[in-house]
Amino acid sequence: MEKRRFFLEIAYFGQAYHGWQIQNNAISVQEVLNKALEILLREPVETTGAGRTDTGVHAKQLYAHFDAAPIGILADQDRFIHSLNALLPFDVAVKRLIEVAADAHARFDATHRSYEYHLHFQKDPFLYPYSCFMRDRPDVVKMNEAAQFLLGKQDFECFSKSHTQVFTNICDIRRAEWVWQQDGRLLFYITADRFLRNMVRAIVGTSLEIGLKGRPASFMQEVIKSKDRKKAGVSVPAHGLYLTEVAYPYI
């Protein structure tokens, strides 16, 4: 039977993984997902993800596609999801199986992606793996002023990890906002059509230069115009970062 294309919606806690993408000498989410699919479908399966996440970064929503004949267990979505989750480790979960067009692509068809960065300011051992602890509270009003310089289509080379092979550093940021939560935590929300490697963590680090170290809000614009990673702030720890949404016109 001819193979068809399926999307999987997955979520994972990234602490144990060296990101999404398969690597030679380290465990990745893609590797454990491919192995579980191979056991379940009894044939080699290669998944393609919506994008890569860095080591230790979490995902509340990520899509990956694969091709398979829609027979056997694949014909029963609930049974398939239950069986696949039983094969996956506790920190990776499959939420949905969606049959899509043969040319649908988890990476290239995504219209936007959203991330959150989580900060907390009261030491809490139960929050540590999920949020970044900071002793001092930043000036969020000034950080939100700086966030306005991020909006729109621009060259964000200054926030990209060095020596990455990408065809362009242009990204269209549609939302960048710091919001206090009722429990005293601080979240940074950012949405764009695409992101460069390490981009969100570098933006958060630069924002904290403004909110904690007295730099003006215009420092953000200065860094962007420089196109120089050395001008930007240090990358914040990975464990506070979550990929929260990947959007498609047909899902």
Is position 130 annotated in a ligand binding site? no
The CB-based long-range contact list for 121-129 (8 Å cut-off, 24+ gap) reads 121/184, 121/185, 121/186, 122/184, 127/185, 128/239, 129/13, 129/15, 129/239
Which one from 54, 76, 109, 228 is the annotated catalytic residue?
A: 54
249 Cβ neighbours under 8 A, 6+ residues apart: 109, 111
Please list, in sequence order, all residues whose beta carbon lies within 8 angstroms of the beta carbon of residue 162, skipping any fewer than 6 positions away.
229
Tokens of 123: 């030491």
Beta strands in 104-193 (DSSP E): 112-120, 132-133, 152-155, 170-180, 186-192
Distance in angstroms (rounded) separating the CA atoms of residues 4 and 6: 7
CA dist 94 and 222 (Å) reads 42
Q: How many CB atoms lie within 10 A of CB 235?
A: 20
Are the beta carbons of 97 and 80 closer than 8 angstroms? Answer: yes
Asked whether the beta carbons of 20 and 53 are under 8 A apart, the reply is yes
Query: 76 catalytic, yes or no?
Result: no
Binding-site residue positions for substrate: 115
Active site residues: 54
Binding-site residue positions: 115
